[in-house]
Amino acid sequence: MGPFEYLKENQDKSLEQLKDFLRIPSVSAQSAHKDDIRNCAQWVSDYLIGLGLKSELCETGGHPLVYGEYHVSDDVPTVLIYGHYDVQPVDPLDLWKTSPFEPIEEDGYLIARGATDDKGQLFAHLKGTEAYLKTVGKVPVNLKFMIEGEEEVQSENLDTFIENNKEKFAADIVVVSDGSMYGRDLPAINYGLRGIAFVEVKVTGPDRDLHSGSYGGTVANPINILAKMIGQLHNDDGRIAIDGFYDNTYQMTDWEKEQITKLPFDENEFKASTGSVKLWGEKGFMPLEQTGSRPTLDCNGITGGYQGEGAKTIIPSWASTKITMRLVPKMKPGEICDKIEAFLKKICPDTVKLEVIKHGGANPVLVPTDGPWLDAAAKALKTAFDKEPYFTKEGGSIPVVETFKSALGIDTLLIGFGQHDDNAHSPNERFLVKDFHRGCVTSAALFEELSKVKA
């Protein structure tokens, strides 16, 4: 039996094992899940050890990182596989049709928190490894695994850990499956990810909530003020009005524009997939450009005053919002945080106190669009999906990908097995069972193809 037959024969078992992985509520953002996180890291490490790899949990100062290693020969490339075992919080819980950590299968989907982001996708590479070890007895490439537990909280401690352990992670190429295909049955190689910058903004007016009858009209209302400030962040063309925001933005190349024209794209279908009444965005750009190649700004949440049952007539003491900005190459999270702070200070009236907390973020990244590694990935996807992959850019961020290049000098292959409508970060997160199995096949095929590349 070869690796591909092994994967086929063991499909049901693989899915059951993935369900075990998904049952561990490894929410990195919430301290109540600290033990779950560690148990989950241990689960991954034990799985690697069970396959016969060397593996350990590494302390990073935050949630542990799972390291795994397999060496077959000095004459073949070393492939570093990155993934994250942490998941997003599950709220709002009442919108889930099942319990988020009790995976179920329905209409060809596996539904659970982490199914697509990223447990299901990273598990495919454990299975690709297993398929070789259980049939051929060895994998055709050397492997290193870096499975982290803080991706969903900005990979806060990872850069430092990599800086301090460069030798450990030395490799010829990185493989990351933590994104999306282009669509149903349409595999893709991603060649770019946006970066991100985070800020929190709070405006404070009176030192306590005031009766809006006794005081209404005499002091500024922080919610009114904050809403107006937020409204000034975009102009009517959907462009961001922050001074200097676009100073270092990058221009799409002709090759990139050509890739976009090759993609089957239906604007109505896209609109329908969002459930919005109408699309909106920066004027002069199409949706795929807006998400892949243009910087954007969004409030992620807004808080203040009274929203409980019935009426409560107050001028609230404060209002706050969390804002993220998606960045394209050349933009730096630190600089962008400084620019939004300066702009907010400029437009904030002197009737309230303004606080801006800057949280930094992640750098954008572009990876090579040709070369032998990429050809290997394209062949592997063709083997699994029986289709040539498209070239796409993703609007999401994976902080460490830029670090692989800047700190370790290694390029990354971004091959996602998810779908954009897998409900990542939303209720009812899901992963097509079929895509999970094809991801496993891609992984095995990729090891074979990469082994032929002269490192």
Between residues 260 and 352, which has the closer beta carbon with respect to ligand BES? 260
Distance (Å, rounded) from C-alpha 58 to C-alpha 68? 10
Between residues 197 and 229, which has the closer beta carbon with respect to ligand BES? 197
Torsion sign across C-alpha atoms 59, 398, 90, 113:
negative
Instruction: Locate 300 and state its tokens.
Output: 């992620």
Between residues 140 and 187, which has the closer beta carbon with respect to Mn ion? 187
176 binds, among ligand BES, Mn ion, none (CB under 5 to 8 A by kind): none
Closest approach of Cβ 177 to ligand BES, in Å? 9
Active site annotation includes 74? no
10 Å CB burial of residue 270 (0-12, 13-18, 19+) is: middle
151, 394, 422, 429: the catalytic one is: 151
Distance (Å, rounded) from C-alpha 257 to C-alpha 242? 27
Scanning 58-66, 255-263, 307-315, 393-401 for contacts with ligand BES by CB under 6 A, the matching segment is 393-401
Closest approach of Cβ 143 to Mn ion, in Å? 20
- Measuring CA to CA, which residue among 125, 124, 130, 144 is closest to residue 79? 144
Determine which residue in the list 36, 86, 118, 148 makes contact with Mn ion, applying CB under 5 A: 118
Q: In terms of C-beta distances under 8 Å and separation of at least 24 residues, what long-range contacts does 47-54 make, across chains too?
A: 47/17, 47/126, 48/126, 48/145, 51/126, 51/129, 51/130, 51/133, 52/133, 53/129, 53/143, 53/145
86, 118, 178, 394: the catalytic one is: 86
- Looking at residues 348 to 367 of the shown chain, list those that interact with ligand BES (rule: CB under 6 A): 362
- Measuring CA to CA, which residue among 116, 91, 67, 172 is closest to residue 452? 172
- Looking at residues 164 to 223 of the shown chain, list those that interact with Mn ion (rule: CB under 5 A): 178
User: CB count, 10 Å around CB of 286?
Assistant: 17
Closest approach of Cβ 366 to ligand BES, in Å? 14
Q: Per rule CB under 6 A, is residue 422 in the interface with ligand BES? A: no
- Measuring CA to CA, which residue among 184, 220, 182, 181 is closest to residue 203? 220
Between residues 399 and 439, which has the closer beta carbon with respect to ligand BES? 399
Q: Per rule CB under 6 A, is residue 178 in the interface with ligand BES? A: yes
Active site annotation includes 151? yes
- DSSP state letters, 130-144: HHHHHHTSS-SSEEE
Determine which residue in the list 150, 151, 422, 435 makes contact with ligand BES, applying CB under 6 A: 151
Q: Per rule CB under 6 A, is residue 148 in the interface with ligand BES? A: no
* Residues making contact with Mn ion (CB under 5 A): 117-118, 178
Residues in touch with ligand BES (CB under 6 A): 117-118, 151-152, 154, 178-180, 196, 362, 394, 396-399
Catalytic residue numbers?
Answer: 86, 151
